[in-house]
Amino acid sequence: MEQTITRTNFHFPGQKSIYRGKVRDVYNINGKFLVMIVSDRISAFDVILPRGIPYKGQVLNQIATKFLDATEDIVPNWKLASPDLNVTVGIIAEPIKIEMVIRGYLTGHAWRVYKAGNRKLCGVNLPEGMKEHEKFPEPIITPATKAEEGHDEDISREEIIKKGIVSEKHYSLLEEYTLKLFERGTELAAQKGLILVDTKYEFGLRDDSIYLIDEIHTPDSSRYFYADGYEERLQKGEPQKQLSKEFVREWLMERSFQGKEGQVVPDMPDEFVKQISDRYIELYEKITGLEFIRGDTSGILNRIEKNIKEYLSSLAL
């Protein structure tokens, strides 16, 4: 199979530190810039799975780049350039330690909460009598804490402000930006015959201004349904045809893995790894309307290092 990026360990001019997230390796350059390398790692239930997925990092980086550019009129974002298929370089903003999750439909985690009999999620009241995958009357914002390790946890607007995670003024802006970004993402998805079901946004503060950071509208952070046949499947109680990571979670759950203590990640056969890769590429082509051009993965780490160093040499470090 193609080479995948599961870990990087570069040393760039002016490098101060490196942070490895679930999917991204982030290099701090002189406290002024971030170099974000999007790996081929895949996580589910907040656990990094043992195998890399070919082209996944390229897909995520290229989709995020496209949507950062398509939403910069709504909120400023951190991106300066994408010097490599798997890389974005941008400014540093102090991350706000919550994820702004927004849901247009009763699906995934929200459905699991609802099915268990709960009618409140992150302080938001949920209507009675809803079906799985049904559209909410209005999108709901259900924030989550941004965990350094382990599971992110649901949190309400009131708790966020009470704990001083962010001021009420800034939180109101986060809500406003989240709704506007989701509206734009919904419009762009609809143009391609897709429904943006739910997603999450991450923000940071720089000079007391809010910036959109990290990825946006990718299959790791978002869930998409095909619009064609949505209503018919809903009425019949059938699963929706979707482009997201949910099928990976379902595959794991069928094999008794949900990231809980004592559970062991099942082996991922080549066939399943290829299926995941194909699904990511399918989403790229569907959401962008462009053909996916596979990057050369032979010597992929050398390619990334060369492109980053060339770009950094053009910056005033």
| pLDDT of the residue at 242 | 87
Using the predicted structure, report yes or no on whether residue 103 has a pLDDT greater than 60.
Answer: yes
Tokens of 232: 């018919």
At 247, is the pLDDT very low, low, confident or very high (cuts 50, 70, 90)?
confident
Over residues 118-146, mean pLDDT: 97
Of 38, 39, 32, 37, nearest to 15 (Cα)? 32
Calculate the alpha carbon distances from 296 to 23, 88, 154, 280, 288 in Å.
Answer: 20, 18, 40, 17, 21
E strand or H helix at 160, and its extent?
helix 157-162
Of 305, 293, 198, nearest to 242 (Cα)? 198
Domains belonging to the chain, first-starting first, are 15-94+264-312 (3.30.200.20), 97-247 (3.30.470.20)
Using the predicted structure, report yes or no on whether residue 150 has a pLDDT greater than 60.
Answer: no
- The pTM (predicted TM-score) of the whole model is 0.90
Tokens of 195: 């429904």
Alpha carbons 158 and 169: distance in angstroms, whole number: 13
